Each structure stands twice: as structure tokens, then as C-alpha cells.
């Protein structure tokens, strides 16, 4: 643990030399960053010795919790044995072969082949290139357009950022790459018309895909790409009618489905992958984050036999790869992480305990004057903060109240992320009653303090 002097020292070094992701650097330069020094299970500690309950699993990563000795040992042993070798030039190694087989086993059939990278963005870039390559191999090179959704987050590289639907991300690579179209996201609370039921809205949002396919011409469409639950966009959970209708449209036009499971993979919804939860049949799943519970960077795509078959029938290279594709230490840690998830029954535990406990926790705040809606699926949840809960009117300046609330959470020793004025949570899969009770106390207090701060703006 560091002392106060060291905290100031690290903050200063950081402010002078470190550029943070997705950060207002002017504000950060003034305020400095919080220095995090340690993690243990569901908690992290800052350099001033404050213990914080981690309601975001790091960044949707630490499904088994922080600082597992077993994962550290797996990394240590692999580093002594073979710290690095590449998987180019027809070489392989045991950790990558074993992990590939395990991922094929837990992924829905018929997804059986894995290509590795180090980040979610890279996995989506890989998927984009492979989707287009696939259609060339099939003799339909015109099929290049990938339809995605507004507010989707698929990463920060130029291709993944262009496939994503966040306008502020597009703005930095303006103009974004061509070949992507963005349809409405299935966000009932924010987008439904007055009196529109979730079911009717879900069908309308799904049919936006068919409208887009017809508008660009089915012969030009390569794939539809989507997160089963939009995470960084605000934990937007589609109504039950949405995914079956999307799958029907995909089947009708025989386009590919890319499920970005970078957040939803590895148990978060109570199944290994959310695709099973929603009964969808992706041709490609992209994964990252919780495959190692975030202990080391590792990502990849799992592809179905149809796409793999096109590659193996074709006598030429797929010109794509990363130095760290299938890094042996990351693969060894991932295998151990999946073993722990299996051994501790963490996936069924989300269905039987964690998911219902989170839903019950959030429901306790539905009556709060600041709260417009609470929603959750598995261990993904959200609280909508609104100025008028009867009319769903938002606050005048989007994001200001969310930030006030987030800061209260921080000060009270809890991490929940603000997506504008939507507070989102993704607890580790290991939470027990102790953490859910703690979260209840902190959330209530933070909401009350936020309400005091903005009372004049909230409808009585």
C-alpha cells in the first residue's frame, strides 16, 4: 500500500506523461487520477487505503474476481516453460491448441475454429476482414456492407470504431470507413413511442434491419454485427421479440451474423455465451476481456464450420495476423480461468443466484424519485436517471447528473459506470449476499446524495 506522498507522486507522473483512454485530458490534468494499487476478489484498493466494491468487474473483465493466485501461477509456470512463440509459419504450441479446443467445446455448435488477437477491437477487425474475405471466396465480392447499430461499441481501431455506432468515436476518424450502415438500437426505454409495448418496439427495431438490407440491396450485404446486449452504449437489453425476428431476417437474406460477445461472453448472462441465452445462431463470435478475467490481454473470434470450410477449401493465405495471436502465457491463463469458472459453477450460478439477486437489488430503487427505469439480464444491469420519471424527461445537459452520481458512488466506495445519465453495472460472477447488501446501502446513499445535488431540476 502506498502512502499519501506516494499517491501525489504517482498522480503527478500520470498527469504529466500518461494519456488515458476515453478521457477529457483538460479535466484530468486539473483533477488527477485515482491511483488503484491492489485487488482481491470483489474489491479493489486505492493508494489512500480506501477499499472499493468493484461493480464493473474492472472493465467488464474480472468475472472470477481480482488477484487469483491460481491465474498468477498459471502465468508464472508458462513463462518459465515457453514465454513466447508465434503461431505464424506453421508453428503452434500446447497452450494455444488446448485453449482453442476448449473454446470450441463451450461455444455453440457449429462454431469450432478460433483465431486469436489481444483486444476486442482487434477481434472485430479480424471479423470484418474475414467476413469480406469469405464473400470473395464464395464468389460474391459485392457483399461488403456490414450493418451494425447506433450506439454500438465494437472498439477503437478505425475499422471497429467505424463498425460501432458512436458518433463521437466516428468524429475522430472522420470520415469513418465506408461499408458500414447503422440502424436503430433496441432501446425501448429511450426510443419507444408513447404507448408502444416492448414487444411491438422490439419487432420494429428488428425490422429496421430488413429495411436497411432492402435499401442497400441484399446482394451487397455481407453481415449484421451486434452485441447481444449493448454494453458501453448503456446496457440496452432488447425486448424478447427482437432477437428471434433478427434471426429470421438473417436467415431470409442469408447474410452472416457477427455476435460481439466481448462483454457478454464467459458467463455474464448465465450461459457461456449470450447467443445461447437469446437463441441466436451467429456465424462468428468475437470475444476478449473475461476470457482471461482480464488478467492478460487476449481476444479472438470463433467461427462456424461454413466459414472455416471456405478457408480450408481455398488454396491461398488469409493475409491477416498479429504477433501476439495465441500468446502462450495469455492462453495458459485463459485455460486456467475457464477451468475455475467451470469448477466453481459460476455460469449456472449467474442463472440461479447472481442474476436474480441483481434484479432484486435494482428493483429496490425503482421507486426512487431520480430513477426512471431499472433493468438487468444476468449480471448486467442499469439504472436510468431522469428529471421526470412520469414523462421520462431527461436532464437538460446529458451526462452531468450521471457524473455527479458516479462520483458519489466512488466516494462511498463503489464503482458503477455512468453512460451519460444511465448508471451501469457488471459485477464479478462471485458476488455473495455480502456484496449485494453492501451495494444496496451504497446505491441508496449515492442516489439520495445525487438527488440533494439536483433537487431543483427533478419533477416533484
Q: Residues in the site for ligand PLP, rule: CB under 6 A?
A: 119-121, 124, 153-155, 227, 231-232, 260, 262-263, 288
Alpha carbons 401 and 454: distance in angstroms, whole number = 8
Give first-to-last CA distance, the chain, whole Å.
46
Going by the DSSP 8-state scheme, the letter that residue 192 receives in this structure is: P
Whichever of 232 and 331 has its CB closer to ligand PLP, that residue is: 232
> By three-state DSSP, how is residue 418 classified?
strand
Whichever of 124 and 425 has its CB closer to ligand PLP, that residue is: 124
**Least distance (Å) between residue 154 CB and ligand PLP:** 5
**Least distance (Å) between residue 395 CB and ligand PLP:** 25
**Least distance (Å) between residue 433 CB and ligand PLP:** 29
**Least distance (Å) between residue 445 CB and ligand PLP:** 28
**Least distance (Å) between residue 260 CB and ligand PLP:** 5
Checking phi first, is residue 179 left (phi over 0); if not, alpha (psi -120 to 50) or beta?
A: left
Please, where are the H alpha helices in 321-399?
Answer: 328-343, 346-349, 355-363
**Least distance (Å) between residue 215 CB and ligand PLP:** 26
**Least distance (Å) between residue 53 CB and ligand PLP:** 21
Checking phi first, is residue 217 left (phi over 0); if not, alpha (psi -120 to 50) or beta?
A: left
How far apart, in Å, are the Cα atoms of 414 and each of 8, 42, 132, 179, 338? 22, 11, 43, 41, 27
Whichever of 210 and 227 has its CB closer to ligand PLP, that residue is: 227
Alpha carbons 416 and 54: distance in angstroms, whole number = 8
Whichever of 256 and 288 has its CB closer to ligand PLP, that residue is: 288
How far apart, in Å, are the Cα atoms of 49 and each of 39, 287, 410? 12, 34, 14
Whichever of 108 and 231 has its CB closer to ligand PLP, that residue is: 231
Whichever of 274 and 446 has its CB closer to ligand PLP, that residue is: 274
Cis geometry, peptide bond prior to residue 282 (ω within 30 degrees of 0)? no
Whichever of 120 and 372 has its CB closer to ligand PLP, that residue is: 120
Alpha carbons 279 and 259: distance in angstroms, whole number = 12
Amino acid at each position: 500500500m502506498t502512502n499519501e506522498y506516494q499517491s501525489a507522486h504517482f498522480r503527478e507522473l500520470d498527469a504529466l506523461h500518461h494519456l488515458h483512454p476515453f478521457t477529457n485530458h483538460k479535466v484530468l490534468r486539473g483533477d488527477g487520477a485515482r491511483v488503484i494499487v491492489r485487488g482481491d476478489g470483489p474489491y479493489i484498493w486505492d493508494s489512500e487505503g480506501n477499499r472499493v466494491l468493484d461493480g464493473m468487474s474492472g472493465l467488464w473483465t474480472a468475472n472470477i474476481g481480482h488477484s487469483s493466485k491460481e491465474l498468477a501461477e498459471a502465468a508464472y509456470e508458462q513463462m518459465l516453460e515457453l514465454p513466447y512463440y508465434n503461431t505464424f509459419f506453421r508453428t503452434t504450441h500446447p497452450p494455444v491448441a488446448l485453449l482453442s479446443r476448449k473454446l470450441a467445446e463451450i461455444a455453440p455448435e457449429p462454431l469450432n475454429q478460433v483465431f486469436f488477437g489481444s483486444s476486442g477491437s482487434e477481434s472485430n477487425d479480424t471479423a470484418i476482414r474475414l467476413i469480406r474475405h469469405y464473400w470473395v471466396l464464395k464468389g460474391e465480392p459485392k457483399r461488403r456492407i456490414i450493418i451494425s447499430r447506433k450506439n454500438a461499441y465494437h472498439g477503437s481501431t478505425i475499422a471497429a470504431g467505424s463498425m460501432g455506432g458512436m458518433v463521437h468515436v466516428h468524429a475522430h476518424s472522420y470520415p469513418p470507413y465506408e461499408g458500414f450502415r447503422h440502424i436503430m438500437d433496441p432501446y425501448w426505454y429511450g426510443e419507444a413511442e408513447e404507448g408502444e409495448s416492448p414487444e411491438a418496439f422490439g419487432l420494429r427495431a428488428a425490422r429496421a434491419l430488413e429495411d436497411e438490407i432492402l435499401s442497400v440491396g441484399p446482394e451487397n450485404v455481407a453481415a449484421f454485427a451486434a452485441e447481444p446486449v449493448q454494453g458501453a452504449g448503456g446496457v440496452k437489453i432488447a425486448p424478447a421479440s427482437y432477437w428471434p425476428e433478427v434471426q429470421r431476417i438473417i436467415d431470409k437474406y442469408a447474410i452472416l451474423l457477427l455476435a460481439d460477445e466481448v462483454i457478454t461472453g464467459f458467463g455474464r448472462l448465465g450461459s457461456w455465451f449470450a447467443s445461447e441465452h437469446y437463441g441466436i445462431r451467429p456465424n462468428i463470435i468475437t470475444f476478449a476481456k473475461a476470457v482471461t478475467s482480464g488478467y492478460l490481454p487476449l481476444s479472438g473470434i470463433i467461427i462456424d464450420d461454413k466459414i472455416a470450410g471456405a478457408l480450408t477449401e481455398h488454396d491461398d493465405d488469409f493475409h491477416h495476423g498479429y504477433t501476439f495471436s495465441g500468446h502462450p502465457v495469455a492462453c495458459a491463463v485463459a485455460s486456467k480461468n475457464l477451468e475455475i469458472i467451470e469448477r466453481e459453477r459460476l455460469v449456472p450460478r449467474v442463472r440461479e443466484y447472481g442474476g436474480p439477486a441483481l434484479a432484486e437489488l435494482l428493483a429496490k430503487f425503482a421507486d426512487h424519485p431520480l430513477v426512471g427505469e431499472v433493468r438487468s439480464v444476468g449480471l448486467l444491469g442499469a439504472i436510468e436517471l431522469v428529471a421526470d420519471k412520469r414523462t421520462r424527461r431527461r436532464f437538460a445537459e446529458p451526462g452531468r447528473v450521471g457524473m455527479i452520481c458516479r462520483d458519489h458512488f466512488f466516494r462511498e466506495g463503489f464503482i458503477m459506470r455512468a453512460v451519460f445519465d444511465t448508471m451501469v453495472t457488471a459485477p464479478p460472477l462471485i458476488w455473495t449476499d455480502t456484496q449485494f447488501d453492501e451495494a444496496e446501502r451504497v446505491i441508496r446513499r449515492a442516489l439520495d446524495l445525487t438527488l440533494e445535488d439536483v433537487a431543483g431540476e427533478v419533477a416533484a
